[in-house]
Chains A and B, each alone.
Chain A
């Protein structure tokens, strides 16, 4: 597990697992631990991820619309959370760090 960079905030620590291509781009391990400000949602977790790793901006969500890229999915706790609202709370197990949020490249070959 790799700790998020920057000053520690009082918010929760959320675990995020990145797909291989983004790990290489961000030069990180498979799983990161991120300090998340406020409520733990897709948006707040991605905000924290992009603060720690600016090189990932635009790779998971569109920089202008902030919409999830079409070939990226979010899984956690055995559920597909891709179509949840970006500001909807993530499961409690993700918010407490018991379970990671998985960022997954869609299985589409190529």
Chain B
């Protein structure tokens, strides 16, 4: 029988939530790496038993863990994320130059075809790749080196490279997103990069339509249509139909267009999910109502999904990597909150139920669809 494995990273450990295809009864395993911040846990599409976790701590730095048995046992792999060459400086919050310093791995993106290849998006923003199962990491230095790096600045969470998307059709094309720099694209497998932010407008930077400087919170794409990208920006939900060459706003009738997560239905490329958050200073849902908004038209027209979600006194946040979809016939949608709840919908968002209610603050949610 097929099933799903939901991989949850939290402020104090990782959890693995497993169910069969009905997604009603759940087995909860964890915490793994108790006491550490787990920024991201994700499985290899090429080998579902291989799972990666970014384990980090203000005290003890960065550890990358790898499981080869579906999350039952783990072992640390390499954790040396040394920047290529002289790192240079980026802008600090006050606009002064600040040395590039590695802080942590925000996001791990395994190759779709090679279990030993995985990308790591890090803070301070850079992209690393390992081709040896995580033993060693090399920076794809053309990203920081393309020319604008000295003008990048941190968002509230740090200057992080948090999104890595590999084009499902063209192995040489990838997208990354950085807070607060924007979206960058490579067409030569990571050697050279260019910003792809035309159409973004951000009132928080001196030049609202600058080539770089935008606080992009997350990107999502449907693998069947790799040229169509969706973005939750600091403010604004955006869409590109030309692989990032240009963007247009699709916030439409959302109650607020601030938020962090965005994702796409597994079988319907025009069905998109966001969780509107009140504002950049009020990181909780408007009116204390936790609502996922779904568009079936690729944006602009949105419907609130509330069944099973708290509609009073709810003041949690949903962070940028904390939503995922499975690929079962009836698409499952999952998200985690800073209040420690992980909600699941087995019917494309029509109804929701918590899998767990009382985890530490959730940093990331990924899901594996198992045969």
Residues of A at under 8 Å CB distance from B? 19-22, 25, 55, 57-60, 62-64, 69, 71-72, 105-106, 108, 110
Contact = CB atoms under 8 A, between A and B. Distances in A.
B79 interface: yes
A81 B362 CA distance: 37
Contacts of A19: 59
A69 B57 CA distance: 11
Interface stretch (B60-68, B110-118, B172-180, B307-315): B60-68
Contact of B82 (A22, A63, A72): A63
The 4 closest A-B pairs by CB, nearest first: A71-B59, A59-B60, A55-B76, A105-B59
B61 A58 contact: yes
B63 A55 contact: yes
A102 to B, nearest CB: 14
B35 interface: yes
Nearest to B82: A64
- Please classify how large the interface on chain B is, using the bins under 10, 10 to 19, 20 to 34, 35 or more: 10 to 19
Contacts of A25: 60, 63, 76
Interface string B64-85: 0000000000001001101000
B80 A58 contact: yes
21 contacts: A19-B59, A21-B59, A21-B60, A25-B60, A25-B63, A57-B79, A57-B80, A58-B61, A58-B79, A58-B80, A59-B60, A59-B61, A59-B63, A63-B82, A69-B60, A71-B58, A72-B60, A105-B59, A105-B60, A108-B58, A110-B58
Chain A facing B: main interface SS: loop
Nearest to B34: A24
Contact of B61 (A20, A69, A106, A110): A69
Nearest to B76: A55
A59 B62 CA distance: 7
A22 B60 contact: yes
A59 B58 CA distance: 10
Given A21-B60, A69-B61, A71-B60, 8 more contacts: A19-B59, A21-B35, A21-B59, A25-B63, A58-B63, A62-B61, A63-B79, A72-B60
A110 B56 CA distance: 13
B65 to A, nearest CB: 9
B36 interface: yes
Given A21-B35, A21-B36, A72 B59 contact: yes
Contacts of B60: 21-22, 25, 59-60, 69, 71-72, 105
A69 B63 CA distance: 14
Nearest to B11: A110
Contacts of A20: 35
A60 to B, nearest CB: 7
Nearest to A69: B61
A108 B61 CA distance: 15
Nearest to A61: B61
Nearest to A71: B59
Nearest to A106: B59
A57 to B, nearest CB: 7
A25 B53 CA distance: 14
Contacts of B76: 25, 55
A63 B35 CA distance: 22
A69 B58 CA distance: 9
Nearest to B58: A71
B86 to A, nearest CB: 12
Interface string B251-272: 0000000000000000000000
Contacts of A21: 35-36, 57, 59-60
Contacts of B35: 20-21
Contacts of A108: 58-59
Interface in B79-138: 79-80, 82
Nearest to B75: A55
Contact of B80 (A63, A72, A106): A63
Interface in B14-67: 35-36, 57-63
B150 to A, nearest CB: 21
A21 B12 CA distance: 12
A62 B62 CA distance: 10
Contacts of B36: 21
Contacts of A105: 59-60
